[in-house]
Amino acid sequence: MRIFNLMLVIKIFERFNFYAYNGVFLFFLIDYLQYSQSDAKAIFSIMFYFMYFLPFINSYIYDNWLNYKECLIFSAIFNFLGAFLNCLSFYYVDLFYWGSAFICLGVSLFSVNFNNLLGVYYDKYNEISLKGYKTMHIMGNLGSLFAFLTMGYMRRFSFFSIFILICALNFLLLIFLLKNYKNLSEDKAINLGIFKKLLILTMFFVLVFLIKMVYFDVGIFFHYMKYLHLLFIAILSYVLIKERDKKLLLILFIIFSGMIFYSIMLQMQGFWLLFIDKYLYKQIFTYNISSVAYQSLNPLIILIYHFYGKKHDKIKSFILFILGLFSISIFFALFYIGARNAVDFKIHYIYFILSILILTIAEYCINPFLTSSVQALSPKHLKGFGMSVMMYGISLSSLIMPYIELYFPTLKTLQHYENIFFYGMIWNFFFVLALLPIFYLTRRFFIE
């Protein structure tokens, strides 16, 4: 249990740093760097795209050249370096772009390899992994709850103070990982020579340079993105032909099923944050709640639901997954009703709270199942690849909102958003309905 407890602490620390950075990133672009809201939202989505796309590019390194826990060390180093450069950006603004690129790489290294290391722990001790993934998911939400509450309070201070706090916490996480490195479960014995280690480090820095080149230029990013898609299709096709494993196709199906959900969740600190800031009536009784603090509702409800929703554990996990997908239509319906009943172009906060409640229940049903199923269905020699394909699917989800705004530039009033909520509700319902036959035919593959 000591290893599991160490991983709980690492998860809380890392998620706090991640969501603290996200909670201030968008406002920093708009208020300090003077980006327009549309460009800032697009850049925010691009950030998530790289965070979830990079694991696919690096999956060969994960599976063949590095231990999972070595990747966590690299992750902590890059996150700290990125946070440190963000602090220095107040003296030389270009360092903010370099710092953000390092953080993208750091987060991408953490996400895949932490889940793989957790899978190694369960393989070693022959325990049921779904409960462990749920527990780890809860700890991640605990970290994000503290992050949103802290950022809601810290907004009254300068951006420099916030970046100093994030930098200090990233440094503490790095020290904690280095101190407990030997205590983490050994996953695979890989001893590389100095040449390959330098080659890996060089590859990482090249990736940072490439990210920095296109990160903050929305036009260049969308122009070159099609080549990234072609690269993904080529690599995926090669692996599918080589392995001839039907479970890999099932992994793709599960990931595809969850894309609408992730397109909403990944925009909680982007699209939805600015939507709340503009169209939500934020005063509760005599208190005016900040937009960032409102986002603490999601992890808070997750924690409450975890401790008081135990009876739902008796329901098969893939059925909960399907119910979670259907509940996204209810999420859109609540926002649609709220927009229809808005007063002075402000939606009452009760509609927002109810919609977040529904979305949170969906998250609790979808996220642990998706992660544990991909981990369990992936062949042993392709664990990193399986998780990275999941991350790539999530990265595509992060671009759905920018594409909507790109092709619907009239999204400038509450009535326009009302139409989006209506069509989202209808489209999601029939989308999930069409997936039901495949879920029924493949139900025996899913872990419980």
Among 179, 370, 162, smallest CA distance to 259 is for 370
CA distance 70 to 61: 11
Domain enclosing residue 426, as ranges = 2-445
The per-residue pLDDT for range 82-109, each reduced to its tens digit, is 999 999 988 888 888 888 888 888 888 7
Nearest to 255 by CA among 106, 375, 362, 425: 375
Two structure tokens written together for 274: 């600015």
Which of the given ranges, 201-210, 234-243, 262-271, 272-281, has the highest pLDDT on average?
Answer: 234-243
Q: pLDDT tens across 302-313, in order?
A: 777 766 655 555
Q: Per-residue pLDDT averaged across 385-407, rounded?
A: 74
Is the model more confident about 277 or about 27? 27
State how far the Cα of 33 lies from the Cα of 183, in Å rounded to an integer: 43
Q: How far is CA 195 from the centre of its chain?
A: 33
The alpha carbon torsion through 52, 57, 63, 65 (nearest 10 deg) reads -120
State residue 126's pLDDT score: 45
The Cα–Cα gap between 248 and 235 comes to 13
- pLDDT 10s digits, 112-149: 667 666 666 665 544 445 566 667 777 788 888 888 88
- How far is residue 446's CA from residue 205's CA, in Å, rounded to a whole number? 38
Mean pLDDT, the chain, whole residue set? 77
Which letter does DSSP use for residue 185 in this model? P
Q: What's the chain's length in residues? A: 448
Residues 121 and 135: beta-carbon distance below 8 Å: no
**Percent helix / strand / coil, the chain, rounded to 5:** 80, 0, 15
List the Cα angle 241/246/247 in 5-degree steps. 115
Lowest mean pLDDT among 32-46, 129-143, 180-194, 397-411: 180-194
Per-position b or e across 423-441, b if 16+ CB within 10 A of its CB: ebbeebbebbeebeeebee
- pLDDT at position 125 is 46
Q: Give residue 128's pLDDT.
A: 46
Q: Which has the higher per-residue pLDDT, 200 or 124?
A: 200
Q: What pLDDT sits at residue 290?
A: 66
Could you count the other beta carbons within 10 Å of the beta carbon of residue 42? 24
* Number of domains present in the structure of the chain: 1
Specify the CATH number for the domain of residue 64: 1.20.1250.20
Lowest mean pLDDT among 4-18, 293-307, 350-364, 414-428: 293-307
Find tokens 């450069």 and name the residue: 85
pTM to 2 decimal places: 0.77
* 205-250 pLDDT tens trace: 777 776 776 666 767 777 777 777 777 788 778 888 887 777 788 8
Instruction: Give which of 311, 428, 320 is closest to 364, Cα–Cα.
Output: 320
pLDDT digits (tens, 9 = 90+) for 146-175: 888 888 777 777 888 889 999 999 999 899
